[in-house]
Amino acid sequence: MSRRKPRANNAEPRRFNDLPNAQQAGMLCNDEQFRTFAGQQFLSSKVQVSPTATAEFIRRHCGVDSRRDLNTDAEASRKFQILRTEFDAWAGRIQAPR
C-alpha cells in the first residue's frame, strides 16, 4: 500500500482557474485535447500539434512575445480568457458562447 506524502507547506492545491494566466497557458500546451484544438485553429487541421507549436499559437493569438506577458498585459489576458472559453465550448465543457 502506498502512502501519500504530506504536502510540505500543508497548502491546498490550487484550482486551475485560480492559477496565473501564464501558468494556465503552460499547462494547456501539454494538454492533448488543447493541442488538437490549437491544431484546428492554427493550421485548420485535425492533427494534434506539438507543445512548442501550441505555445506559439497562444502567443500569436494573444499578441505577446512571451506567455509571461499574459499575467501583466490586460488585453492579452482578455484574449487568453476568450481563447479558454472557446476551447471549453469546443471541448463540450460549456455551451458555445453567443
8, part of any domain = no
User: Does the pTM exceed 0.75?
Assistant: yes
Could you give the residue ranges of the DSSP H alpha helices within the chain? 21-28, 32-43, 51-62, 74-90
Of residues 11 and 65, more confidence is placed in 65
Which three cell numbers, joined as nine digits, stand for 51? 507543445
Range of the domain at 38: 19-90
32, part of any domain = yes
Q: Distance between CA 56 and CA 13 in Å, rounded?
A: 28
Number of domains into which the chain is organized: 1
At residue 97, does pLDDT exceed 80? no
How confident is the model at residue 13, as a pLDDT?
84
Q: How many CA atoms lie within 13 Å of 22's alpha carbon, on the beta-carbon side?
A: 11
Q: Average pLDDT, whole number, for the chain?
A: 89
Per-residue pLDDT tens over the stretch 4-51: 665 566 677 889 889 999 999 999 999 999 999 999 988 887 888 999
51, part of any domain = yes
- The 10 Å Cβ neighbour count of residue 50 is 12
